[in-house]
Structure formats: C-alpha cells, structure tokens
A and B are shown apart, each in its own frame.
Chain A
C-alpha cells in the first residue's frame, strides 16, 4: 500500500514535470521524438483505421437526377400542364435532394463555390457543383423557373405547407422582393473574398433535411415554415439569392408557362389563384400623350442611374469595416493587437494558438492589411450593385408592359401550376367541363 502511494506521488510529479518541461523547452516536431514507440516481442503495432468516404459516384448520380428532374418539371409544367404531377415531383425532389442527400449540394449554395472559384484560382470546384449551378439557369432560359416549381427541395418544402393564400400588398411585395438581390450581392462579395459562405450558414431548411441542427437554425427554419402556411414561399420570394438569378433569367424565358392552354377569355377567374402574387391582369392601351410622358420619364430615370449608382458606391465605403469583420485573418489580427495593447479582457484560443504557431504577427498584420484593401473595393462594388438593383426596381416599376391577357409575371412565377385549375379554358381541355360558360356563368350567379 505504501509503495503504491509512493508510486502515485512519484508518477504524478514526474508526469506533470515532464509535461511542463516538454512544453517549455520543445516545440512541435520535437515532441514526437520524445518517447520512442517500443518494439514488442509478440505484439505488432497496429495501424490507425479510418472509414472510407462515400463514393464520388454519388456526385454524378446527383447531376443525373437533377437533369431528369428538371426535364420532368419542365414537361409537366409546359406540356402536360399538371399540378398533380408537379406536386409529386416536388415530393420526390424533397426526398432525394432534401432528406436522402441531406440538402448538399444545392444550386443556391453552389453560387458561392462558383464565385470563389472565379476569384480564387487555388480553390477547386467540382464539376458536379458547376453543373448544379449552371443547369437550372439553362433550363430557366427556355422554360421559366421550373426548377423552383418542383426540383428545389427548399421550394418543395414550402410549396407543401402553402395552404392559405394571404395576399401580400403589392407595395410590400415589391419592396421585399429586392432583398434576394441584395442578399445575392452580399453572398457573392463574402464568397469572392474567401470570407464566408453565408447562404449555407443561413440556410433555413437544411436542419430539417438532416434532422439535426442548432436551436437558432431550427427556429429560423420553423418560423419560415409557419409564415409559409399563410404567405406562399417566403424564402423563395423574399430571400433566395439563387432565385434572384433565376428571376433575371426567367424574364427572357422562351416557352414560359401560360395560364390558359389557348387564348385567354379574360374571365378573371384566375385573378386570385396565385399564392405568390405572380398573375398580372391585362393592360389598357395607353394614349400617345401618356406614352410620350412615360418615355420622357424613362429617359430622366436612365440619365440619373450613374449618379445613383455612384452615390451608393460612395456611401458603401462605410461598410468595409463591417464586411471585413467577417474575415478570420482580420479578426485574429485585431484580437492580437488588442492583447498587445493590454485591452483584451478574456483569453482567446485563436490568439493563443497563433502565438504558438510559426507565423509571425507581422505576417498576419500584412495579410490582414491586404484583405482590408480588398474589402474597401468590395464594399464599393457591393454598394454600386445595390444602388443599381434599387434603381433598376424603380425603373421597372415605372415601365409599362402591354398585356392582352392574364399572364404570369415571368420573373415571379415559379411554375407551380396552381392557376391551371382556375382556368375554365384549361378545364375544358382536360374534359372536366364541356364549355367555358358552365364555369363563368356559375361564378356570375354566385357574384349576383
């Protein structure tokens, strides 16, 4: 017993003092040579065992599935014109891209990888990720946002919970729909500078797809879903940065979804059918005086554009500090400086580890200064971009688009197909009613 106690004391003292000496006198690699691995008479030193990563074949499979889903979605929306098929396809996409592939890779996040790869030649972006970014855009150029309709798992989960249709007032809808462009600009800025992938960090639904996530993530996603019960697709309409790209692309789409299969009879039955407020009524032909007035206004607005953009670029120089605060090296340099000045209040693992590393503070300060310079440019560019987006929105709001029939707004429509069943011409096509009067007549009766 006494021997044991003695051994304990001895070993504790030695172990701790050896440790202390090692730490004080030796660094890094020297430690590894401290105690040689013994050669045993009848025991082989085993090797570390690691588990293989899932096969990269899955990436190719994902691209294949994406291609098939995009084709099916476009076919269902434009040719079959079936809301039911679109819905089933979105369930399938939700299961595959959402729950089975756990929300990664997705085109929304791929935007950042593609951006970073563009600006940083050392960053490797897998071909599958480039495909995920480009394919939906190419489909949208031809068929409208069929990707949003039933391929995107984030869209699908919101589509499924969109049960009540509360119309967002037009002014609010227009104002909020600027956010995705701003978000896109911010995400691109932070990705291009190698700072952060904010789109992924603030992905609302990926926590549900993985069935795990931190509390704030779950609350954020949960509240978006609850809002989504009443206001259709809040993330797609007011946040999704990839949606902003798709909106621009869809504007020029060649064969976009139409509400009636043939000519519109202007029965107004579809007017309130869209939970996303994407259906626009026909316009009256303007008088020549009106046209001339509007043309003058457009010229003035266009003339003002460079000044607005310049103003925003100038105003945005103030953001560079905030943007730079996201960058690791800049944060570390600041913490280090604080500590050197004796202003730091609590211990910081990062600075402690930095002081133990081979990098000198001067190197870090230099790197931080380079990053800061880049952020000064990035902030101005971001400001100019936001100015352009806001002013572009103003110009678009003043533009007159001639419409002879009820049409989905190409950039806001997600091709979900909810409006089909509201169109009597469509109902005749699929044989639910014999002629359009059957439906328009009934409504008139109800109305009177």
Chain B
C-alpha cells in the first residue's frame, strides 16, 4: 500500500495479466462447452439404441370426431382426412356415416348426406337375400376432416376414421391439432410406418395380406404401425 503506481506501463502490465487470465478462463469454458455439447448429443442419440424420425398420427380407437381436426390445423385445408376401412365396413344400405340423422330420403341428395362437402360416394354393389349393399368411398380432395361421418359411423361399425395424411402434413414440432385434441388421440409414429388402423381390424388385414393376389393389403400393412 506504500507506493501505488498509477503510471501507464504497470497498468498495462496488469491489463496484460488480466487478459491472459481471461483468455485462460475462456479457453477452459470453450473446451468444456464443446465436450459437454458433444457428450449431451451423444447421450441423447445413443439413449434408445436408435433414434428415428417420427410423424404425427391419430389413434382411431381414441378419436371421437370432435371437428378440431378441421379447424385447428395450421394449414388452411387440414392435413387430416377421413379414410374408409373397407374391411370393417358393413356395406349397409342405411349408412349412419353417409346419411344425415334428419335425411329426407335415402338417396344421394345433398340434404340427405352427413358429409358437408359431399365427399362420400355411394356405389351399389350387390343385392343378396333382399338386402342391398353399398360401398362408400371418400374423395380425399373434398374431405375437410370434420369427422361428422366418423361420429355417425361409430354408431355402427366404425369403419370410417380420421388420419393425418402425410403428403399434406408439414409435421410441425408441436401439432396444433394434437394440442387441442380432447382425447389426446395424437402421438408420434415412426416415419416409415406413419399410419394406423383400428386395433380390432389389424389381424384381419394381416390375414388378407397373406393372400397372394392382395398386393393392396400388403401395401397398406407396410404403411401401418402395429397396434
């Protein structure tokens, strides 16, 4: 404390010391930072054997067709569309998914239909033992994913079900529909099998896929995650 030099060279010396100390500290921080980042990344990547890319999908066994899929998707036209699982369909004449509850006539008139956009096509297939059978197919370009037909069909066989279509879905990190889904029916599936069918029909499709000429069933099975 006797002589406190305040002249330039000593201050500069001190400055130098300070800078060296700072450099040493920074180097240490840098090295430990990179090591930490590397270890952390490696830990996460190696944690579950192999981490795979995933895509959003709806579990049709949880879905209640609440209409959120039509309104909550970030895309102007929702990525969710309705699918027809023909292997579950009863081919009913009086289809509760096709006909509105207050239909006027059992025909294809718009006011009789459940679907607000007329996306379901009804095609006569066969008449057996006095019963007429119809096939219902969905025009995906018209479907808005509102789930009205899903709700209707759930009263009978429940063959109509909503799925996220992966040619449309932008795979948001947080799916806006998933956030608002009242039954938390959304989760992530492996990107190479990004679709689902209802649990009860999966064995049926497996059986069908075993038939040599049913390429279509095998194709579906390749895209579907087992329940």
Interface residues of chain A, those whose CB is within 8 Å of chain B, are 7-8, 11-12, 14-16, 18-19, 22-23, 28-29, 31-32, 34-38, 40-43, 45-54, 56, 59, 102, 104-105, 109-110, 112-114, 117-118, 121, 124-128, 130-131, 133-134, 137-138, 141-142, 196-197, 200-201, 206-207, 210, 212-214, 217, 249, 252-254, 285, 287-288, 328, 348-350, 352-354, 356-357, 402
Query: Are A50 and B195 in contact (CB-based, < 8 A)?
Result: yes
CA distance A137 to B101 in the complex (A): 58
CA distance A102 to B173 in the complex (A): 11
CA distance A48 to B128 in the complex (A): 24
| Chain A proximity mask over B32-70: 1 for CB below 8 Å, otherwise 0 | 011001101100110110011111000001101010000
Whole-angstrom distance from the CB of B17 to the nearest CB of chain A? 11
Query: Are B6 and A288 in contact (CB-based, < 8 A)?
Result: yes
Contacts of B52 in A (CB 8 A): 56, 124, 126
* Chain B CB within 10 A, most for which of A45, A104, A126: A45
CA distance A43 to B137 in the complex (A): 14
Contacts of B64 in A (CB 8 A): 349, 352-353, 356
Among B18, B96, B128, the residue within 8 A (CB) of A38 is B128
Among A121, A210, A252, A287, the residue within 8 A (CB) of B33 is A252
CA distance A375 to B106 in the complex (A): 55
Query: Are B33 and A402 in contact (CB-based, < 8 A)?
Result: no
Closest to A57 in B: B53
With A53-B55, A117-B44, A126-B54 in contact, do A47 and B88 touch (Cβ < 8 Å)? no
Q: Is the C-beta of B108 less than 8 angstroms from some C-beta in chain A?
A: no
Query: Are A47 and B173 in contact (CB-based, < 8 A)?
Result: no
With A48-B197, A201-B174, A210-B75 in contact, do A11 and B86 touch (Cβ < 8 Å)? no
Contacts of A353 in B (CB 8 A): 64, 66, 182-183
Closest to A214 in B: B74
| Chain A proximity mask over B14-33: 1 for CB below 8 Å, otherwise 0 | 01001100000010011001
> What 20 additional pairs, Cβ within 8 angstroms, besides A127-B45, A137-B33?
A14-B94, A19-B155, A19-B156, A32-B200, A37-B87, A38-B128, A42-B126, A53-B167, A56-B53, A59-B53, A124-B52, A127-B51, A130-B44, A142-B30, A201-B176, A210-B74, A210-B170, A353-B64, A354-B183, A402-B18
Contacts of B53 in A (CB 8 A): 56, 59, 126, 128
Query: Are A134 and B40 in contact (CB-based, < 8 A)?
Result: yes
Contacts of B90 in A (CB 8 A): 34-38
Closest to A404 in B: B15
* Chain B CB within 10 A, most for which of A40, A48, A138, A352: A48
With A50-B223, A212-B75, A353-B182 in contact, do A32 and B158 touch (Cβ < 8 Å)? yes
Query: Are A53 and B220 in contact (CB-based, < 8 A)?
Result: no
Interface residues of chain B, those whose CB is within 8 Å of chain A, are 4, 6, 11, 15, 18-19, 26, 29-30, 33-34, 37-38, 40-41, 44-45, 47-48, 51-55, 61-62, 64, 66, 74-76, 83-94, 96, 99, 101, 103, 105-106, 125-126, 128, 133, 135, 154-158, 163, 165-167, 169-174, 176, 179, 182-184, 188, 191-192, 194-195, 197-201, 205, 208, 214, 216-217, 219-220, 223-224
